[in-house]
Chain A
Amino acid sequence: MSARFDEHGILVVGASLAGLRACAALRKHGYDGRLTVIGDEPHLPYDRPPLSKEFLAGGTDGADLPLPVAGLGITWQLGRRATRLHLAARTVEVDDGTRFPFDGLVIATGSTARPWPAAPAGVHTLRGLDDARSLRAALRRDGRLLVIGAGFVGSEVAATARGAGVDVTVVDPAPQPLHRAVGEAAGEFVAALHRQAGVDLRTSTKVVSLEGVRKLTGARLSDGTEVPATAAVVALGSAPATGWLAGSGLDITAGVRCDRHARVLRRDGTPAPGVVAAGDVTRWPHPWADAPGVTLGHWSHAAEQAETAAHSLLFPGAPASYRPVPSFWSDQYDVKFRSVGLPALADSADVREYDLGARRLDVAYFRQGRLIGALTGNRVARIAAYRAQLAADLEGR
């Protein structure tokens, strides 16, 4: 039986991919009541992946970014930041004190880039459209970029900026780019791409301080050297945007904790009635992961978990289960990296192809001898086969 939302309808907090996909799924399942979306950005939902790639390169004006919102009957509350959830009163408070009542709630506030404390002007993070616009302008103005952190976003920004002729230095404390996410060999492959493109890559190195009184002039590194820079991107990963949920009674340790039906759990471990969550903000149990569960910053995860969340909200008696084979992509230079599974959880890897000249990579990841993930570069056809194998493994669990 479906749940009732007659009085106040369903409220979605977070106006991006997960929030919008939840709305689309609610409508698809026949929900025709009130649907309100609160978002702190002034923009309607748009796609973030191009922000570190085509959009940053300046190849597009952003016309391809907006996500389709037509026909969903959504009341938008944009430019409003949720500051508090009152679970018992069933309201969400926003920054000007207004309270939005709800019968059903979808939490989809994503994640926030970790900033550099007390940074001079010229230091950017990259999460939203406005960030990307100002970074793009900075790259056009001046020619020396420092990228702090060689994860996916950092590596993509470095590749894009290099492609635009910008001088780029990348600094990362790990021995390879993307080390934690995809391990030794794949990290080495990415390092080689950077170096071949003329990026000054400093691994096993930390940024000690950013220099410049009002405007960035450079950085001091842990190896004692200094690098000049007129702009910097802090790409040190992101944290789930859960600040507004403090004191709500929900479990927000390392993300909004969900069960496998995307229902949000309270601190006592029981689901909060009528509250679901989806996307980067969640931490949830995956059969391949240990107890506290996983948090994924992948486009497909946000899109897919939102469907489960919508279903569980509408049909509390028959909640859907979310057991995906995770997948993500990353485009750097002329290499399309594609990944399936959870390579970060592997304890060993098998490098099946490593051909820098042909720009091809194929690495399989294992945990306790079982395939848990794969990463390919310019070998998409193979990723489909890996994915099928991983899907079969999930069936059996």
Chain B
Amino acid sequence: MKIQVDMDLCESHGQCVFAAPAIFSFDDDDNLVHAETADESLRDAVEKAAAACPVRAIRIEAATGDAAA
């Protein structure tokens, strides 16, 4: 799956980092860094992260050629 974060919306709340630390983290300046793709096995954690984001900045898309929605 592909993970997109709208960095204009992101306010560094950190909820995604709590929910899916393998995908999301912060750099020293409190900016969010994240993996742009993730294995399907992490879908649950990434969905949790998207739901936990107070500003709804996280979007999950199926990777190209991937059947999952």
Chain A residues close to B by CB (< 8 Å)? 47, 49, 68, 299-300, 303-304, 325, 327, 329, 331, 336, 338, 378-381, 383-384, 387-388
Per-residue CB contact flags for chain B residues 31-49 toward chain A (1 = under 8 Å, else 0) read 0000000000000000000
Q: Is the interface of B mostly helix, strand, loop or mixed?
A: loop
Q: How far is the CA of A237 from the CA of B52 in the complex (A)?
A: 25
- Is A378 within 8 A of B25, CB to CB? no
Q: How many A-B residue contacts, CB cutoff 8 Å?
A: 46
Closest A residue, CB atoms, query B30: A380
B17 neighbours in A (Cβ, 8 Å)? 384
B54 neighbours in A (Cβ, 8 Å)? 47, 49, 299-300, 329
- Is B26 within 8 A of A329, CB to CB? no
Q: A299-B54, A325-B18 are in contact. Are A384 and B12 (CB under 8 A)?
A: no
Q: Which of A304, A338, A381, A383 has the most CB of B within 10 A?
A: A381
User: Apart from A300-B52, A327-B15, what 11 extra A-B contacts exist at CB < 8 Å?
Assistant: A68-B56, A327-B18, A329-B11, A380-B12, A381-B26, A381-B30, A383-B14, A384-B14, A384-B21, A387-B14, A388-B21
CB distance from B39 to the nearest CB of A (A): 22
B28 at the interface (CB under 8 A from A): yes
CB distance from B13 to the nearest CB of A (A): 6
Q: Which of B12, B25, B28, B56 has the most CB of A within 10 A?
A: B12
Q: Which of B13, B14, B54 has the most CB of A within 10 A?
A: B14
B27 at the interface (CB under 8 A from A): yes
Q: Among A327, A338, A381, A388, which residue has its beta carbon within 8 angstroms of that of B27?
A: A381
- Is A387 within 8 A of B12, CB to CB? no
CB distance from B68 to the nearest CB of A (A): 16
B51 at the interface (CB under 8 A from A): yes
CB distance from A249 to the nearest CB of B (A): 34
Q: Among A47, A68, A336, which residue has its beta carbon within 8 angstroms of that of B11?
A: A336
B26 neighbours in A (Cβ, 8 Å)? 380-381, 384
Complex A-B: 10 CB contacts under 8 Å? A300-B15, A300-B52, A329-B11, A331-B11, A336-B30, A380-B26, A381-B25, A384-B14, A384-B17, A384-B26
Chain B: residues with Cβ within 8 Å of the partner, total of 17
Q: How far is the CA of A336 from the CA of B13 in the complex (A)?
A: 9
A383 neighbours in B (Cβ, 8 Å)? 14
Q: How far is the CA of A304 from the CA of B26 in the complex (A)?
A: 23
B13 neighbours in A (Cβ, 8 Å)? 329, 338, 380
Q: How far is the CA of A383 from the CA of B17 in the complex (A)?
A: 10
Q: How far is the CA of A380 from the CA of B51 in the complex (A)?
A: 19
- Is B28 within 8 A of A381, CB to CB? yes
Closest B residue, CB atoms, query A21: B51
- Is B25 within 8 A of A384, CB to CB? yes
A47 neighbours in B (Cβ, 8 Å)? 54
Closest B residue, CB atoms, query A324: B18
A327 neighbours in B (Cβ, 8 Å)? 14-15, 18
B51 neighbours in A (Cβ, 8 Å)? 303
A325 neighbours in B (Cβ, 8 Å)? 18
A329 neighbours in B (Cβ, 8 Å)? 11, 13, 54
Q: How far is the CA of A304 from the CA of B13 in the complex (A)?
A: 15
Q: How far is the CA of A379 from the CA of B14 in the complex (A)?
A: 11
Q: How far is the CA of A47 from the CA of B15 in the complex (A)?
A: 16
A379 neighbours in B (Cβ, 8 Å)? 30
A336 neighbours in B (Cβ, 8 Å)? 11-12, 30
Q: How far is the CA of A122 from the CA of B57 in the complex (A)?
A: 37
Closest A residue, CB atoms, query B28: A381
